[in-house]
């Protein structure tokens, strides 16, 4: 029988009533003749609550225990979804990550999927089971410990299952009815897209649009998974939501197709480091070893052999970064006068494949921000994106102003 993957995010399984509604949708697909793999997230707010407990207990926590704790949210919803389906006379069984087993590497809290054997679940499908409910976000390391795939990781579980089981489609049910030109919660003029290219979605996701986890888009692109994002609250139809597809399948698009933001950025400046060959390696090596995800980097022009080095990283990694840099200073690998952390910044980015062939986007973006009185602290560009770091209090204003100036409310 053809296989369909249906993923339900946190708000779609937020309580028993919502789980019932989601299960009904699954029942509709089963009635159409699909064998369904349902991937569930934890109830909304649950994972954040668990993170809070971990931090309260141990700020520099052991990531193996963090994963053991965080994975529990999905364990609960998987069991509840299976029970709900059984109550509706749909033969269903739940699977935790280790039971599949969804094999990952050992990078706890940000593990990568290495293999999903299909035989266990396929054998059950062969025995008459119609729905395999799989706890999203969880896996098992080569050492036999529970891993998690990073925040938002259930999206990646879903796409990986769709690839492994050669599913006809991977439907991501969430609390918005598709992918928009920007987050509809902060820009009322955001426009829903019928289609978006993999590459654009990849950039938007990696720049903060949390509607899909970056890795899920990467996997969908690599394995040609038909990936759709749609609402679990609205009526279903065959062309609902947004399809993530190849660039060639999109007829026309704007130069800038979307604006993304990331609220949880921090800017760190090493004041007065020696400007010598190898200094960048001496700074960023220990940061990388400590698991700090450095994003933007600027090195100032040196004066009298010394310079300032600025980089950005997620706010919750500031403590780790400080520890790593202080350690490198104490051991004499680097020398700096001061380390300043600014945790009140946000990153705003404009993304569009059209930027490859059209110039002037950066100038227009900088002018718009300047007209709004927003100071740009760091800039980073690539072929199809421009990102700026600004004071967090201006983030929403900046997103709205850029959405207006690039006329994203209009179709191309
Ligand atoms: P789920 O719990 O279903 O995984 P998430 O909260 O992870 O849902 O992702 C959905 C949210 O992503 C939306 O509520 C919306 O606020 C946010 N979002 C950010 N950027 C976009 C965008 N460009 N289009 C749609 N939603 C977006
Ligand atoms: N529950 C996890 C999180 O909140 C994974 C997910 O929902 O995708 O990050
Ligand atoms: Mg999500």
Q: Tell me: the pLDDT tens digits for 219-258?
A: 999 999 999 999 998 876 767 899 999 988 887 678 999 9
| Mean predicted confidence (pLDDT) in 320-346 | 96
Is 90 exceeded by the pLDDT of residue 98?
yes
**What stretches of 207-331 show up as alpha helix (H) in DSSP?**
214-223, 279-289, 318-330
Tell me the CATH number at 120. Answer: 3.40.1160.10
- Say if CB 168 and CB 226 are below 8 A apart: yes
| Mean predicted confidence (pLDDT) in 44-73 | 96
Summary mean pLDDT of the chain: 95
Tell me the CATH number at 311. Answer: 3.30.2130.10
For residue 64 the two structure tokens come to 């193996």
Same domain (yes/no): 159, 264: no
Q: Which atom of ligand 1 is closest in space to residue 185's alpha carbon? A: 16
Whose CA is closest to 349, among 316, 382, 312?
382
Gap from CA of 141 to ligand 1 centroid (Å): 29
Question: Residue 131's pLDDT is what?
Answer: 98
Split at pLDDT 50, 70, 90, the class of 22 is very high
Which protein residue has the closest C-alpha to ligand 1 atom 12? 211
379: domain range? 259-405
| Mean predicted confidence (pLDDT) in 2-30 | 97
Question: Residue 60's pLDDT is what?
Answer: 81
Q: Is residue 225 part of a domain?
A: no
**By three-state DSSP, how is residue 357 classified?**
coil
Question: Residue 258's pLDDT is what?
Answer: 96
Question: Residue 235's pLDDT is what?
Answer: 73
Question: Residue 46's pLDDT is what?
Answer: 98
Split at pLDDT 50, 70, 90, the class of 361 is very high
Question: Residue 254's pLDDT is what?
Answer: 82
Split at pLDDT 50, 70, 90, the class of 36 is very high
Domain boundary among 155, 175, 195: 175
Gap from CA of 11 to ligand 1 centroid (Å): 11
The number of helices, as runs of H, and strands, as runs of E, in the chain is 12, 18
CB distance 152 to ligand 2 below 6 Å: yes
Gap from CA of 154 to ligand 2 centroid (Å): 6
Q: Is residue 238 part of a domain?
A: no
Which protein residue has the closest C-alpha to ligand 1 atom 10? 211
Whose CA is closest to 410, among 120, 145, 191?
191
Same domain (yes/no): 147, 263: no
**By three-state DSSP, how is residue 295 classified?**
coil
- The neighbourhood of ligand 3, an ion, using CB within 5 A, equals 9, 152
Same domain (yes/no): 274, 377: yes
Domain boundary among 159, 175, 191: 175
Q: Total domain count for the chain?
A: 2
Q: Is residue 209 part of a domain?
A: no
Q: What is the DSSP letter of 294?
A: -
Rounded Cα gap, residues 209 and 346, in angstroms: 13
Q: Is residue 252 part of a domain?
A: no
Q: Tell me: the pLDDT tens digits for 178-196?
A: 999 999 999 999 999 999 9
Whose CA is closest to 202, among 177, 179, 169, 231?
179
Report whether the peptide linkage leading into residue 101 is cis, meaning its omega lies within 30 degrees of zero: yes
| Mean predicted confidence (pLDDT) in 257-271 | 96
Is 80 exceeded by the pLDDT of residue 126?
yes
| Mean predicted confidence (pLDDT) in 279-308 | 93
- Ordered DSSP codes for 35-74: EEEEEE-PPTTHHHHHHHHHHHH-TT--HHHHHHHHTHHH
Q: Is residue 53 part of a domain?
A: yes
pTM: predicted TM-score of the whole model, two decimal places: 0.93
Q: Given ligand 2 and candidates 134, 151, 174, 215, which is best to mutate, with the most ligand atoms within 8 Å of its CB?
A: 151
CB distance 154 to ligand 2 below 6 Å: yes
Question: Residue 249's pLDDT is what?
Answer: 85
Rounded Cα gap, residues 360 and 185, in angstroms: 28
Q: In what order do the strands lie in the sheet with 385-391?
A: 297-299, 306-314, 258-274, 338-351, 385-391, 378-382
Same domain (yes/no): 144, 270: no
Domain boundary among 175, 195, 214: 175
Q: What is the DSSP letter of 95?
A: E
Q: Is residue 105 part of a domain?
A: yes
Rounded Cα gap, residues 243 and 241, in angstroms: 7
Split at pLDDT 50, 70, 90, the class of 360 is very high
Split at pLDDT 50, 70, 90, the class of 397 is very high
Same domain (yes/no): 21, 161: yes
Q: Which atom of ligand 1 is closest in space to residue 152's alpha carbon? A: 7
Split at pLDDT 50, 70, 90, the class of 384 is very high
82-to-19, 270, 308 alpha-carbon distances in Å: 10, 52, 56
Q: Is residue 352 part of a domain?
A: yes
Question: Residue 200's pLDDT is what?
Answer: 94
Question: Residue 153's pLDDT is what?
Answer: 98
- Say if CB 4 and CB 169 are below 8 A apart: yes
Split at pLDDT 50, 70, 90, the class of 64 is very high
Question: Residue 113's pLDDT is what?
Answer: 98
CB atoms within 10 A of CB 164: 20
Paired with 88 in beta bridges are none
Question: Residue 150's pLDDT is what?
Answer: 96
């Amino acid at each position: 029988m053809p296989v369909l993957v249906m993923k339900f995010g946190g708000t779609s399984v937020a309580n028993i009533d919502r789980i019932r509604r989601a299960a009904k949708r699954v029942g509709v697909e089963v009635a159409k003749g699909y064998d369904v793999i349902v991937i569930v997230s934890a109830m909304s707010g649950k994972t954040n609550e668990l993170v809070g407990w971990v931090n309260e207990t141990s700020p520099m926590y052991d990531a193996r225990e963090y994963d053991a704790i965080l994975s529990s949210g999905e364990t609960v919803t998987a069991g509840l979804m299976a029970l709900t389906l059984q109550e509706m006379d749909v033969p269903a069984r739940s699977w935790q990550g280790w039971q599949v087993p969804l094999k990952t590497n050992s990078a706890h809290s940000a593990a990568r999927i290495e293999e999903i054997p299909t035989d266990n679940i396929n054998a059950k499908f062969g025995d008459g089971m119609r729905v395999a409910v799989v706890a999203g976000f969880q896996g098992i390391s080569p050492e036999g410990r529970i891993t998690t795939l990073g925040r938002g990781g259930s999206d990646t579980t879903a796409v990986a299952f769709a690839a492994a089981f050669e599913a006809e489609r991977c439907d991501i049910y969430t609390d918005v009815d598709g992918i928009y030109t920007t987050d509809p919660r902060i820009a009322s003029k955001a426009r829903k897209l019928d289609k978006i290219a993999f590459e654009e979605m990849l950039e938007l996701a990696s720049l903060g649009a949390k509607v899909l986890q970056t890795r899920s888009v990467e996997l969908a692109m690599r394995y040609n998974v038909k990936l759709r994002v749609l609402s679990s609250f609205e009526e279903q139809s065959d062309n609902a939501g947004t399809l993530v597809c190849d660039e060639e399948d999109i007829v026309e698009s704007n130069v800038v197709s979307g604006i993304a933001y990331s609220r949880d950025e921090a800017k760190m400046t090493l004041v007065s480091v020696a400007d010598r060959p190898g200094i960048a390696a001496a700074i960023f090596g220990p940061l990388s070893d400590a698991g700090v995800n450095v994003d933007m980097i600027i090195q100032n022009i040196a004066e009298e052999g010394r310079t300032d080095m600025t980089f950005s990283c997620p706010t919750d990694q500031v403590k780790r970064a400080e520890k790593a840099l202080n350690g490198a200073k104490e051991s004499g690998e680097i020398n700096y006068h001061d380390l300043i952390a600014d945790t009140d910044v946000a990153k705003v980015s404009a993304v569009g494949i059209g930027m490859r062939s059209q110039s002037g986007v950066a100038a227009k973006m900088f002018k718009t921000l300047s007209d709004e009185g927003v100071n740009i602290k760091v800039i980073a560009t690539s072929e199809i994106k421009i990102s700026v770091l600004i004071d967090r209090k201006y983030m929403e204003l900046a997103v709205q102003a850029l959405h207006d100036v690039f006329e994203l409310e209009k179709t191309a």
